[in-house]
A and B are shown apart, each in its own frame.
Chain A
Amino acid sequence: MKSLQDLKPLIPYLRSYRRQYLRGFLALLCEVAFWVAVPQIIRLAIDDIQNSLTAGKLASYAGLLVGVALGKAFFLFWTRMILIGISRDVEYDLRNNLYRHLSTLSLRYFQRVRTGDLMSRATNDLNAVRMLLGPGIMYSGRTLIILAAAITMLVHLSPKLTFYSFALVPAIAVSVSYFGHRIHERFEAIQAMLASISAKVQESMAGIRVIRAYVQEESDLKQFQQLNEEYVARNRSLIRLWGMFYPALEVMMGLVAVIVLWMGGREVASGKLSIGSFVAFNVYMGQLAWPLIALGWVVNLFQRGTASLGRLNAVLREEPEIADSPALRRAETKRFAEVSGRILASGDGDGKGSVSQTQGVAIEFRNLSFAYNGRPILRDIQLTIPAGSTVAIVGPTGSGKSTLVNLIPRLYEAPSGTLHLDGADIRECRLKELRQMIGFVPQETFLFSSTLRENIALGVEVATEEQVRRAAEIAGLLPDIEDFPRGLDTIVGERGITLSGGQKQRTAIARAVLRNPRILILDDALSSVDTYTEELILNRLREVLKGRTAILISHRISTVCGADLIVVLQEGKIVERGTHRELLEQGSYYPALYQKQLLEEELEQA
């Protein structure tokens, strides 16, 4: 509970559930009211027993006790239902918000942050926050109310005894918070270690082929063992403390009982306190033990919860690096008609338009320079891609080809004013519509573990069987699909069959084609496809995508030679540009590349 400031982000959630909280606390108050009555009944009963009462009166005490217990139970039920229930609601809300927010963050963010880390925030940290909001609030509220009620009652019974028995309470509070803090620190260290172990296993299992091929099992085990030993060591330091925590609390509560026995006993012996009051006192203290210890637990919950909330917040506060400008968001439809109208000539917002309706988009890079993590990747890119033309990009590994095409769907953000689509700055186009008109096949294919059909139809609202099959056919995937017993309903990925690299790439191509994009981008998307299939796919793509703008990145001359314009990128700069023939005449890198391929051929033919 270092600062309540940390809890601020929860206020909106607390506010939207304020009615439930109010009801929950009302139920809690009623429950405590009944709770307070129990020892009083016992006191009266015992005092009466001492003063000899009738059996009938005794029965009525017993009945009263059961009645009070029923009342208490009724309200306890509602307290729990309401207060714990809220925490589940808030957890649900928070998780949804977290997910929604994550889906607005940019590629760069996901490259920077580890998936496992985000996962643990969405589960473990969220759970810690929930514990704070539910049990945390419920038990702290309950303890405070019970304490207030109990002290009132106890003072009424015997102020002196109350004073002495509560002398230890500050000590309990201080030690609970001290222990809680230290325990929390050590707990965090353990969690961090567990995360490292997870990461290690994750990596080893993912790279199992390499480990096997290079016979690194033993060295891998040794690394794992080291992490494991560290984990045990950290656990030991926690257990040393944790093992002491509850026993220490119990001792302190026991001390309170000792004080009551000693002081109270003297009072009773000297006739200043009735035996019934003495017993009631004991019962009160006995029932206070757990709420007081709960206080320690709650302190813990709050500490964990705030730390976790901090981590959740770090994600939630992360501003989407790439988003529609505020002006664009405000403008809504009017500007949309104006700007997007220019870009989205056909007004085809959901990718269902027919081929003839769709036209390409002119893309212009104006003196674009781009750096990633401080490293310059692209320099002074000046490139105009007329609507409907095909541009191919070649260049050595790491020359910035992928970065360049990632700027177009705004996976990376180009500096303002350097990238224009149909004459408008790319930032003036709404993100959603921009991406809607792009069919992007990334270098590394990502398929979801669902059916082939769903993977292909990923980018469209609805797709008929016909459309999906047609897209698969264009991508050269149809023969493979027909080989699968379940056809398009074959499940791929973790839960289904593993596709080959080429099949994956062709699925990704089909996915892009089905969107009927106005810009098609293939980022080395045919590298795992053999030349024969590649040829077929390219031919069909040319046909289908007539009139669209296409950008192809490839290492193969055969892929790029048909392009309207070939651009050679080297160290982030365009060093050559022209058609296949022009480049062969004027260029240096391209002809060299070509020559090298020819050289091979000639050498062999010689």
Chain B
Amino acid sequence: MRGAGTQGKSGKGAGRPDHHEEEVLGKAYDSRLMKRLLLYLRPYWKTVLFAAVAMIFHSLLQVVGPFLTKVAVDRYLVVTDRQPTFLDQWLSGDAFTGLAQVTALYLLTLIALFALEYAQTYQMQMVGQRAMYDLRMALFRHLHRLSMKFYDRNPVGRLVTRVTNDVDVLNEMFTSGVVAIFGDFFSLLFILIVMLQLNLWLALVTFAVLPLIVVATSLFRRRVRDCYRRIRVAIARINAHLQEHLTGMSVVQLFNREDKSFAEFEKVNREHKQAFLDSVFAHSLFYPAVEVFSSGAIALILWYGGQRVLGETLTIGILVAFIQYAQRFFRPIQDLSEKYNILQSAMASSERIFSLLDTPAEVESPERPVNPERTEATGGSVEFKNVWFAYQDEDWVLQDISLTIQPGETVALVGHTGAGKTSLISLMLRFYDVQQGQVLVDGVDARLQDLHALRRRFGIVLQDPFLFSGTIASNIRLGTESITHQDMEDAIEEVNLSEWIRTLPQGYHEEVGERGTLLSVGQKQLISFARALARDPAILILDEATSSVDTETEFRVREALNRMVSGRTSIIIAHRLSTVQRADRIVVLHKGRIRESGTHQELLAQRGIYWRLYQLQYKDQEVAVSGDD
């Protein structure tokens, strides 16, 4: 039964979702990983020690039951010549009193067993919980340190799996796996000792089946390992498929993809089933096999022990005790092979967890950050000095960019999609480090500054307006307590959302839903706009921030913006040139290079790329106007 219980558990362990990294499956035991895992137990070593001692005593006491049975049988039930045990001196000669004494002893043992096991389980599981808590926090903290490059490479689902499911698999190892193996080991050891003690030869005969069990277990293990690997891969695929198709279900439906997507799903689902059926086969073979061996052991005891009893060199009590011990001896062995699965999952999980923890942060605050002086000439300035940047290898996104943005200046970045505008902004915030050249903010290289202090200088509205689940207020504040309600209202007023908010039943405390799904894209953008304004940043960045806002709203937003940009450095990216004309300077990016730079008029006069962009956008209107006239 316990075997089946753990099978269920490990089945669930395998059922935890992961996305694509499941093909790799290491060994079941890796001392390097284990050592590192054990480090997480170190803060709780006293509790662990306590639990271990409790467990050893528990294993020891487990041996007592059959022994007491033996004493009772030999002394009171079957009267034979027997070697007296150490207990006999205290036991009554009268059968009924003696039985009562033995029974009482048995009862005491049970109570002690209960206390020990409870103490051990509770303490060990709590240690597991605390260690997992530490590990999860460490992971999450580390994730917050990793560079944006890491996030470009790793899908969100994978990271979620690391922090939640992988850690939980480990938890299972700490609580049921490792500790139980430890316990099983001691149980085996004590049973072994008692058996050898009771009768050396009979014990040796009993153990004759052990090699068979070892062989069966290793065959089983090999087979099951492959099954579990396939199961994990299949589960990962099922989850990936589900995740994607549930998110994009309306696209599936719009394009009549239901049948095709089902066929794909059915295929991975079938792989999953087949892998499990193979593991069911392995289990179905293994359990009966172990039982046959265990019965074989009992048969050996009967046969060999029986002869010895006939020859009066063995008591019936020992025979009985041996039968009971043999039953208990094989259960932990059966368990051990199950624990193996837990251990294997745990090793695979910890491998992934540690490789995440070992991923270097890449972009980090320097040890001794420079605090920029922020003179009038430098405070709020941004400068690019011969910057080369690529997300990958030599795939240059920005080439030899040199650009100085003066304090208080409003600079517009213009260019085709993919010209490198967003990358330029990511570099200012030091989301990435440049390959060549320098980015200076407030006159100091961004890499020399404290990362957080650097980013606090900016107020940014990103291309994709991201809202967190929570209220409108919490999305504007984003955990910055110092933003007052008044700041928030002012910001909302400036982006022209206050009227809309008044219509909401909960006002500022209206829930926005997961990722802001309850709002339109435009509303989301305006809220992320207010989020930036509420902070009164030194440098304001708008990355295509108004592309999904209608022109009227944008017009009103821009009025606010005109107030906002005065007195602070502003960098604006917009596809609509109307947004950028008021800028002090317009910088035209083309294929990763700065091609033109100047005011709206200057650039028009140049008749270059900007002029072309401008013509295209306004041609239609001009035609219409001339037609009207």
B617 touches A531 (CB 8 A): yes
Q: With A502-B417, A531-B616, A556-B576 as given contacts, are A435 and B255 in contact (CB-CB < 8 Å)? A: yes
Cα separation A223 to B141 with both chains bound (whole Å): 12
A115 touches B247 (CB 8 A): yes
B122 touches A212 (CB 8 A): no
A287 to chain B: closest residue by CB? B327
Residue from B316, B417, B581, B616 having most chain A Cβ neighbours under 10 A:
B417
Mark A57-101 against chain B: 1 for CB-CB distance below 8 A, else 0.
011011101101110111011101100110011011001100110
Of B155, B300, B624, the contact of A581 (CB 8 Å cutoff): B624
B429 touches A49 (CB 8 A): no
A265 touches B327 (CB 8 A): no
Task: Give the 7 A-B CB pairs with smallest separation, nearest first.
Answer: A397-B522, A219-B479, A69-B295, A73-B288, A459-B255, A502-B417, A62-B303
B152 interfacial by beta-carbon distance below 8 Å: yes
A169 interfacial by beta-carbon distance below 8 Å: no
A224 interfacial by beta-carbon distance below 8 Å: yes
B249 touches A107 (CB 8 A): yes
Cα separation A498 to B391 with both chains bound (whole Å): 11
Interface residues of A in 210-253 (CB under 8 A from B): 210-225, 228-229, 231-232, 235-236, 239-240, 242-244, 246-248, 250-251
A124 interfacial by beta-carbon distance below 8 Å: yes
Task: List the B side residues contacting A68 at CB < 8 Å.
Answer: 295
Q: With A72-B288, A111-B517, A201-B164 as given contacts, are A261 and B99 in contact (CB-CB < 8 Å)? A: yes
Known pairs A72-B288, A221-B140, A435-B253 / 4 extra A-B pairs, C-beta < 8 Å? A58-B310, A66-B296, A69-B291, A502-B417
Residue from B159, B307, B468 having most chain A Cβ neighbours under 10 A:
B468
Cα separation A390 to B123 with both chains bound (whole Å): 72
Q: With A103-B261, A115-B243, A209-B431 as given contacts, are A81 and B460 in contact (CB-CB < 8 Å)? A: no
A55 to chain B: closest residue by CB? B307
B417 touches A73 (CB 8 A): no
Task: List the A side residues contacting B292 at CB < 8 Å.
Answer: 66, 69-70, 73
B198 interfacial by beta-carbon distance below 8 Å: no
Task: List the B side residues contacting A596 at CB < 8 Å.
Answer: 551-552, 555
B246 touches A598 (CB 8 A): no
Cα separation A283 to B299 with both chains bound (whole Å): 14
Cα separation A265 to B168 with both chains bound (whole Å): 48
A96 touches B266 (CB 8 A): yes
Q: With A58-B307, A561-B624 as given contacts, are A92 and B273 in contact (CB-CB < 8 Å)? A: yes
A584 interfacial by beta-carbon distance below 8 Å: yes
A258 touches B249 (CB 8 A): no
B229 interfacial by beta-carbon distance below 8 Å: no
Task: List the A side residues contacting B109 at CB < 8 Å.
Answer: 254
User: Which of these binds chain B: A158-166, A289-297, A542-550?
Assistant: A289-297
Cα separation A374 to B319 with both chains bound (whole Å): 79
B39 interfacial by beta-carbon distance below 8 Å: no
A535 interfacial by beta-carbon distance below 8 Å: yes
Cα separation A592 to B555 with both chains bound (whole Å): 11
Of B69, B77, B429, the contact of A212 (CB 8 Å cutoff): B429
A360 interfacial by beta-carbon distance below 8 Å: no
B210 interfacial by beta-carbon distance below 8 Å: no
Of B11, B555, B575, the contact of A127 (CB 8 Å cutoff): B11
Task: List the B side residues contacting A586 at CB < 8 Å.
Answer: none
Task: List the B side residues contacting A243 at CB < 8 Å.
Answer: 118, 121-122, 125
- Give A595 Cβ to nearest chain B Cβ, in Å: 10
A600 touches B578 (CB 8 A): yes
B427 interfacial by beta-carbon distance below 8 Å: no
A215 touches B416 (CB 8 A): no
Of A53, A76, A442, the contact of B251 (CB 8 Å cutoff): A442
A321 interfacial by beta-carbon distance below 8 Å: no
B621 interfacial by beta-carbon distance below 8 Å: yes
A409 interfacial by beta-carbon distance below 8 Å: yes
B114 touches A61 (CB 8 A): no
Cα separation A542 to B613 with both chains bound (whole Å): 21
A184 interfacial by beta-carbon distance below 8 Å: no
Task: List the A side residues contacting B25 at CB < 8 Å.
Answer: none
Mark B476-509 against chain A: 1 for CB-CB distance below 8 A, else 0.
0011100000000000000000001000000000
A250 touches B628 (CB 8 A): no
B1 touches A604 (CB 8 A): no
Q: With A211-B144, A398-B523, A594-B621 as given contacts, are A100 and B466 in contact (CB-CB < 8 Å)? A: no
Of B15, B137, B151, B521, the contact of A444 (CB 8 Å cutoff): B521
Interface residues on A, range: 35 or more
B307 touches A293 (CB 8 A): no
A26 interfacial by beta-carbon distance below 8 Å: no
A52 touches B310 (CB 8 A): yes
B242 touches A122 (CB 8 A): yes
Mark B447-485 against chain A: 1 for CB-CB distance below 8 A, else 0.
000001001101010111010110000000011100000
Q: With A232-B133, A396-B553, A532-B416 as given contacts, are A206 and B303 in contact (CB-CB < 8 Å)? A: no
- Give A64 Cβ to nearest chain B Cβ, in Å: 8
Cα separation A208 to B109 with both chains bound (whole Å): 57
Task: List the B side residues contacting A61 at CB < 8 Å.
Answer: 299, 302-303, 306
- A/B interface sample: 26 pairs, CB < 8 A: A73-B288, A81-B281, A103-B258, A105-B249, A110-B250, A122-B238, A123-B15, A124-B12, A210-B462, A213-B429, A214-B480, A215-B452, A216-B480, A224-B140, A243-B122, A265-B95, A268-B77, A275-B316, A458-B251, A494-B157, A503-B418, A557-B551, A558-B616, A558-B619, A584-B628, A601-B578
Task: List the A side residues contacting B404 at CB < 8 Å.
Answer: none
B309 interfacial by beta-carbon distance below 8 Å: yes
Mark A441-453 against chain B: 1 for CB-CB distance below 8 A, else 0.
0111010110000
A85 touches B479 (CB 8 A): no
Mark A250-268 against chain B: 1 for CB-CB distance below 8 A, else 0.
1100110110011001101
B551 touches A262 (CB 8 A): no
A339 interfacial by beta-carbon distance below 8 Å: no
B113 interfacial by beta-carbon distance below 8 Å: yes
Task: List the A side residues contacting B137 at CB < 8 Å.
Answer: 221, 224-225, 228
B269 touches A96 (CB 8 A): yes
Mark B148-189 against chain A: 1 for CB-CB distance below 8 A, else 0.
100110011101100110001000000000000000000000
B110 touches A258 (CB 8 A): yes
A411 interfacial by beta-carbon distance below 8 Å: yes
A261 touches B68 (CB 8 A): yes
Q: With A213-B460, A244-B118, A254-B65 as given contacts, are A81 and B284 in contact (CB-CB < 8 Å)? A: yes
B396 interfacial by beta-carbon distance below 8 Å: no
B168 touches A194 (CB 8 A): yes
A330 interfacial by beta-carbon distance below 8 Å: no
Residue from A81, A210, A254 having most chain B Cβ neighbours under 10 A:
A210
- Give B596 Cβ to nearest chain A Cβ, in Å: 15
Task: List the B side residues contacting A268 at CB < 8 Å.
Answer: 76-78
Task: List the A side residues contacting B613 at CB < 8 Å.
Answer: 530-532
Mark B276-299 against chain A: 1 for CB-CB distance below 8 A, else 0.
110011011101110110111011
B617 touches A262 (CB 8 A): no
Interface residues of A in 28-67 (CB under 8 A from B): 38, 42, 45-46, 49-50, 52-53, 55, 58-59, 61-63, 65-66
B517 to chain A: closest residue by CB? A111
B554 to chain A: closest residue by CB? A555
A205 touches B15 (CB 8 A): no
